[in-house]
Structure 1
Amino acid sequence: MPSAAAEVRNVVLVGHTGAGKTALAEDLLSVAGAGGTGTGREQGRHPDGEHRSTRGISLTLSALHHRNMTINLLDTPGYPDFVGELRAGLRAADAALFVVSAVDGVDGATRALWAECAAVGMPRAVVVTRLDHPRADFASAVTACQDAFGAGVLPVFLPDGAVAGGDGARLVGLLTGRVVEYAGRDRRELDTSADLADGAFDEARGALIEGIIAESEDETLLDRYLGGEELDPKTLLDDAETAISRGSFHPVLPFAHPAGGGGLPVGSIELLDMMVDAFPSPAEHPLPPLTRCDGSDCPKMAADPDGPLLAEVVRTTTDPYVGRMSVVRVFSGTLRPDATVHVSGHGRAAVGHPDHDADEKVGGLSAPDGTTLRPLDACPAGGICVVTKLATAETGDTLSDRDDPRLLAPWTMPEPLLPIAIEARTKSDEDKLPTALSRLTAEDPTVMVRTETETSQLLLWCMGEAHADVLLERLASRYGVDVDRKEPRIALRETLRGPAHGLGRHVKQSGGHGQYAICHLEVEPLPAGSGLQFVDEVVGGAVPRSFIPSVEKGVLAQMTKGVVAGYPMVDIKVRLVDGKAHSVDSSDLAFQVAGGLALRDAAATAGVALLEPILEIAVLVPDEHVGAVMGDLSGRRGRVVGMEPVGRGDSGRTVIRAEVPELEMIRYAIDLRSVTQGTGTFTRSMARYEPMPEHLAAAVMKDRAS
């Protein structure tokens, strides 16, 4: 039986690209992999089914073993395109370890993520990496973290000496004053007192003690400290660990890769000790909100292996040999191989992810041991395991008892806002494409597949350019489907520039039963949103009453097809004023054709204007980027219609509301990230259609004509 919940720590690594998350995870695996034997440096396949080459774009799961504890380490991508993998890691974890480079500092996206974790009370700690770099500065990195993350962010160890992993690499414990020396594969605790220049030790120690006292539940500590009493380091350490577990105190630890790659990473044991001693177990971390599948409330649940089953699929992938593999976090109860569970979805059918509400049989269970998999007889509450043969379950789905199904509230998932159009390269690719796309959407909740009927294009909505590249590569390499990438087309509209008269003449005599219909139309444009207004003004029976609906039907059919560029025509008034019929050769079809011809004739006289869709967008950005975003929107023919402040001080942000042509928004997901250094987000919705500028309309007409 796997470890009880109290003996498990589920920790997610977060931080920007280049901060060193994956290198940190591999170094920790080398120290505390399967049984602490160093198996973390093996090459090959990861427990989630992905090859090592995919690290950096996918959530990866590894297991560490330290002091009889299992640490499930979830390494998340730092690149913003793969935020879905990041969200999955946050959902599966009980604490977050923020990885900050001593060279590059803290970026805006990491700052925003810290605030998001703070809002839900997730315990957090900081590890400063790349201290072996020549430009590394631990003190500056700590200051940057304190500026970005706020109160309660304090170092508990200071690096002293050459932290590149060679002889003399030392860490000084600020509470104990003891020195830890790393040399090659050896780690020694020395009795030598700390002796740092310029009073750095005393200053940092005082700040740490005051920070711990501020979070302590012992109200006498402050008076005792101010009275000059030397506080017991163990008491302070216990209080610090309690505050870390509550999410109100955030230790900063230094970390350096070993010189030459063969030594013990500097700070590795201290970091592992902190995760074991201070991060909460699954039993201490509250469960996500949940309901019964029928929407009714259900009793409060806890991480009890004997309780009702409650688990969630946090990642889905497909192995070419094993098939579908699901990484599952068990929140309550015990998941067993070959059990029948209830799979509940989250109502995301509108974005290409169908609802799920059915029973399904679980396949085999396995768990990471270092970076390899070992079979499991069961996965109790608090554990994370890999499940095979969940045929329909998607990322984000809930697994529960089939007799009393539950549904976990979905985690926050941003909407994909970068469209790319794809087209199957061959007939064989076209046949395989629907199945491949359904598997992609099952694996990745941040991708949306939609067929645009007006443009006849198949669109993949992605988080960014890198996300799009990965999806296309997976289609080719994993599913054997080659596609060509096309430029997305915008669904425009046509309307008349002014009033005109149109003649529709459909007369054919080729022997036998002929076709005869003539109609005269008066047309004029209407205000936006008016649609089609058809008026019968025929007098004297020039057009028989039975054929007047036929003329209207023909006009409407021609409007649907468009008259110039092939886009639907909207907002016109059509008056049927005259016409002619034949007693034998006139028919419903003939007057439909004549109605369409009359509209085309009138449009040729009046001229046609193209209308483009206008989007309402709301852009949320830090205050320092407001000017740059507004300038960029102006360059996109946008109109700013309002601004609203959100937050205060250094964390202040602003919502900019604007109206922008959709044509200018195709690549906005990429460009906004560049303008705001990755800190801006936006939402979009359809507002209305407006006339397109003449030079752009002319280019569209030319393109459609070619």
Structure 2
Amino acid sequence: MVDPFVGKLSMFRIYTGEINSNSVVFNANNKKSVKLSNMYITKGKTQTQIDKASIGDFVAVSKLEHISTGDTLCDSKNPIILAKVDYPPSMENTAIAPLLKGDEEKISNGLTKLMEEDPTFLHKMDFETKQHLIYGMGDVHLSVIIDKLKRKFGVGVKLIKPKVAYKETVRKTVKVEGKYKKQSGGRGQYGHVWLEVKPLDRGTGFEFIETIFGGAIPKGYIQGVEKGVRAALQEGAIAGYPVTDISVNLYDGSYHSVDSSEIAFKIASAMAFRKGVLDGNPVLLEPIMEVEVEIPDDYVGDIMGDLNARRGKILGIEPEKNMKKIKASGEGFAPSATTTIEKFFPLFFLFSILFIISSKSNSNSGIKITSAPPAKPASIAIQPVFLPITSTTITL
């Protein structure tokens, strides 16, 4: 934990033996030895310094480096690793922004220190949506984190709804030409490429290959072609979202011995790539999450209705003792005493699902969410296409 006056405090329980304030202990998890300094017994806000501690004592030590929550400290001559606590996954996430400009670094440093003391808390930057995300066990947990951030580190944040990052891709193979030509006396610019753009399987990402034959484009300019394609890849062609699951093959083109340059081929290839996406029967992809909900039979009907309204697709229902387990994905549902529901859902509809399921089941439910391959939205009319969101994996 982080104390605003003492600094970092590491708290542990002694299972065997005894230690004093200048003992050297061995961290069996990372194989590093650390020297203890000031030791304390804590009672609420009161900290009493001690010189020695033995079996059963709960002790706090200040400024202990190379230690993480769950590590085992022992004698280096007899190393042992105790079983770690199996912490539950984060249940909810939200985006944050600083209340004052210039506080970004203080916020990041403060959250990192809070993450060290709380294994169920996580923060990270989503570079696709340009948002700072925090993950926790629920609204109350995240509220406590934000309060600690202000109280211990003196920085405030405001909550923002997370964005979801769509992707673009193509559905057919096309061959396209890109030519950039500026020749008006003196040295000009000339770049000319032919690209084959074709779809790949979901989750493959992007590949660039070249099959130039006979020196149609010198090797020195091919890097410029790839740079142009990769730059255009990030900007998309139909809605400004990054393009994925696509292969680009540079198979032909031409050059000018005087006017050609890397930048000319970069521009030409970007032009060709955008045309290839538009001609390749483009489609928007949305992040899809696999959801597993465990609920008492009495609440199955109400919760199934809500999940169906979010375009859930039933994967299976497993009856369990007094419960039902429903697995779902992204488009339909069916009931079954506890039930586990497994379903696929568009990520856009999942931001409020934890609260809805908890309230409709009187907090007598469990939910687990993992990522699945992205898919085309069932209906653009019911999807706010131009609202960016995030494709990061979230486990609730």
Give the TM-score normalised by structure 2. Answer: 0.80
Structure 2 residue corresponding to 1:401, chosen from 69, 72, 75: 75
Matched ranges for 1:44-83 at <5 A: none
- Indicate how the Cα distance of structure 1 residues 566 and 438 shifts in structure 2: closer, same or farther if over 3 A, else same: same
Q: Does 1:654 align with 2:339?
A: yes
Report the Cα distance in structure 1 between the residues aligned to 2:364 and 2:96, rounded to whole angstroms.
29
Residues 170 and 282, structure 2, Cα contact 8 Å, conserved in 1? yes
Report the Cα distance in structure 2 between the residues aligned to 1:452 and 1:395, rounded to whole angstroms.
25
Matched ranges for 1:160-559 at <5 A: 317-345=1-29, 356-367=30-41, 372-426=46-100, 428-496=102-170, 502-509=176-183, 512-521=186-195, 523=197, 525-529=199-203, 531-532=205-206, 543-544=216-217, 546=219, 547=221, 550-559=224-233
1:120 is matched with none
- Indicate how the Cα distance of structure 1 residues 430 and 571 shifts in structure 2: closer, same or farther if over 3 A, else same: closer
- SS of equivalent to 2:283: strand
> How far apart are residue 512 of structure 1 and its match?
4.6
Report the Cα distance in structure 2 between the residues aligned to 1:428 and 1:327, rounded to whole angstroms.
33
> How far apart are residue 464 of structure 1 and its match?
1.1
Report the Cα distance in structure 2 between the residues aligned to 1:533 and 1:337, rounded to whole angstroms.
58
Residues 418 and 463, structure 1, Cα contact 8 Å, conserved in 2? yes
Report the Cα distance in structure 2 between the residues aligned to 1:559 and 1:673, rounded to whole angstroms.
40
1:678 is matched with 363
- SS of equivalent to 1:325: strand
Residues 121 and 136, structure 2, Cα contact 8 Å, conserved in 1? yes
> How far apart are residue 612 of structure 1 and its match?
0.9
Give the TM-score normalised by structure 1. Answer: 0.48
- Range moving further from structure 2, 410-419 or 494-503: 494-503
> How far apart are residue 392 of structure 1 and its match?
4.5
Residues 2 and 114, structure 2, Cα contact 8 Å, conserved in 1? no
> How far apart are residue 700 of structure 1 and its match?
3.1
- Indicate how the Cα distance of structure 1 residues 505 and 436 shifts in structure 2: closer, same or farther if over 3 A, else same: same
- Indicate how the Cα distance of structure 1 residues 368 and 686 shifts in structure 2: closer, same or farther if over 3 A, else same: closer
> How far apart are residue 655 of structure 1 and its match?
2.6
Residues 7 and 63, structure 2, Cα contact 8 Å, conserved in 1? yes
- Indicate how the Cα distance of structure 1 residues 437 and 510 shifts in structure 2: closer, same or farther if over 3 A, else same: farther
Higher helix share: 1
> Match of 1:694, as an amino acid?
I
- Indicate how the Cα distance of structure 1 residues 629 and 502 shifts in structure 2: closer, same or farther if over 3 A, else same: same
1:663 is matched with 348
- Indicate how the Cα distance of structure 1 residues 398 and 539 shifts in structure 2: closer, same or farther if over 3 A, else same: closer
Report the Cα distance in structure 2 between the residues aligned to 1:369 and 1:528, rounded to whole angstroms.
55
- Range moving further from structure 2, 672-681 or 641-650: 641-650
- Indicate how the Cα distance of structure 1 residues 417 and 510 shifts in structure 2: closer, same or farther if over 3 A, else same: farther
Residues 505 and 594, structure 1, Cα contact 8 Å, conserved in 2? yes
In structure 2, runs of 5+ residues without a counterpart are: 325-336, 390-396
Higher alpha-carbon Rg: 1
> How far apart are residue 691 of structure 1 and its match?
0.6
- SS of equivalent to 1:408: coil
Residues 294 and 323, structure 2, Cα contact 8 Å, conserved in 1? no
> How far apart are residue 361 of structure 1 and its match?
2.5
- Indicate how the Cα distance of structure 1 residues 386 and 519 shifts in structure 2: closer, same or farther if over 3 A, else same: closer
Q: Does 1:694 align with 2:380?
A: yes
Give deviations 1:544-595, integer Å, cap 9, x for gaps: 3635665455334422442343322123455657644222112333223211
- SS of equivalent to 2:81: strand
Report the Cα distance in structure 2 between the residues aligned to 1:378 and 1:535, rounded to whole angstroms.
66
- SS of equivalent to 1:701: coil
Report the Cα distance in structure 2 between the residues aligned to 1:372 and 1:526, rounded to whole angstroms.
62
Residues 363 and 389, structure 1, Cα contact 8 Å, conserved in 2? yes
> How far apart are residue 397 of structure 1 and its match?
2.7
- SS of equivalent to 1:559: helix
> How far apart are residue 537 of structure 1 and its match?
8.1
> Match of 1:343, as an amino acid?
N
> How far apart are residue 450 of structure 1 and its match?
2.3
> How far apart are residue 341 of structure 1 and its match?
1.9
- Indicate how the Cα distance of structure 1 residues 577 and 384 shifts in structure 2: closer, same or farther if over 3 A, else same: closer
- Indicate how the Cα distance of structure 1 residues 621 and 517 shifts in structure 2: closer, same or farther if over 3 A, else same: same
Report the Cα distance in structure 2 between the residues aligned to 1:576 and 1:323, rounded to whole angstroms.
57
Matched ranges for 1:2-21 at <5 A: none
Residues 506 and 515, structure 1, Cα contact 8 Å, conserved in 2? yes
> How far apart are residue 319 of structure 1 and its match?
2.2
Q: Using CA pairs below 8 Å that are at least 6 residues apart, which structure has the higher relative contact order?
A: 2
Report the Cα distance in structure 2 between the residues aligned to 1:649 and 1:655, rounded to whole angstroms.
7
> How far apart are residue 604 of structure 1 and its match?
4.0
- SS of equivalent to 1:517: strand
Structure 1 runs of 4+ aligned residues shifted over 6 Å read 533-541
Give deviations 1:226-257, integer Å, cap 9, x for gaps: xxxxxxxxxxxxxxxxxxxxxxxxxxxxxxxx
Number of equivalent positions: 375
In structure 1, runs of 5+ residues without a counterpart are: 1-316, 346-355
- SS of equivalent to 1:687: strand
What root-mean-square deviation, in Å, do the aligned CA atoms of Structure 1 and Structure 2 show?
3.4
> Match of 2:9, as an amino acid?
M
Structure 2 residue corresponding to 1:618, chosen from 292, 295, 312: 292
- Range moving further from structure 2, 526-535 or 412-421: 526-535
Residues 503 and 521, structure 1, Cα contact 8 Å, conserved in 2? yes
Give deviations 1:286-330, integer Å, cap 9, x for gaps: xxxxxxxxxxxxxxxxxxxxxxxxxxxxxxx32222223333222
> How far apart are residue 688 of structure 1 and its match?
0.5
- Indicate how the Cα distance of structure 1 residues 567 and 378 shifts in structure 2: closer, same or farther if over 3 A, else same: same
Report the Cα distance in structure 2 between the residues aligned to 1:532 and 1:320, rounded to whole angstroms.
47
Matched ranges for 1:123-134 at <5 A: none
- Indicate how the Cα distance of structure 1 residues 523 and 327 shifts in structure 2: closer, same or farther if over 3 A, else same: closer
Report the Cα distance in structure 2 between the residues aligned to 1:329 and 1:387, rounded to whole angstroms.
11
Report the Cα distance in structure 1 between the residues aligned to 2:366 and 2:137, rounded to whole angstroms.
11
Percent of aligned pairs sharing the same letter: 35
> How far apart are residue 439 of structure 1 and its match?
0.9
Report the Cα distance in structure 2 between the residues aligned to 1:536 and 1:320, rounded to whole angstroms.
58
- Indicate how the Cα distance of structure 1 residues 557 and 445 shifts in structure 2: closer, same or farther if over 3 A, else same: same
- Indicate how the Cα distance of structure 1 residues 480 and 516 shifts in structure 2: closer, same or farther if over 3 A, else same: same
> Match of 1:385, as an amino acid?
V
> Match of 1:673, as an amino acid?
S
> How far apart are residue 402 of structure 1 and its match?
3.6
- Indicate how the Cα distance of structure 1 residues 375 and 509 shifts in structure 2: closer, same or farther if over 3 A, else same: same
Structure 2 residue corresponding to 1:569, chosen from 218, 243, 256: 243
Residues 611 and 689, structure 1, Cα contact 8 Å, conserved in 2? yes
- Indicate how the Cα distance of structure 1 residues 544 and 337 shifts in structure 2: closer, same or farther if over 3 A, else same: closer
Give deviations 1:356-396, integer Å, cap 9, x for gaps: 54222323333356985544343221222333333443433
Higher strand share: 2
Report the Cα distance in structure 2 between the residues aligned to 1:649 and 1:583, rounded to whole angstroms.
74
> How far apart are residue 410 of structure 1 and its match?
1.2
Residues 614 and 662, structure 1, Cα contact 8 Å, conserved in 2? yes
> Match of 1:321, as an amino acid?
F
> How far apart are residue 405 of structure 1 and its match?
3.1
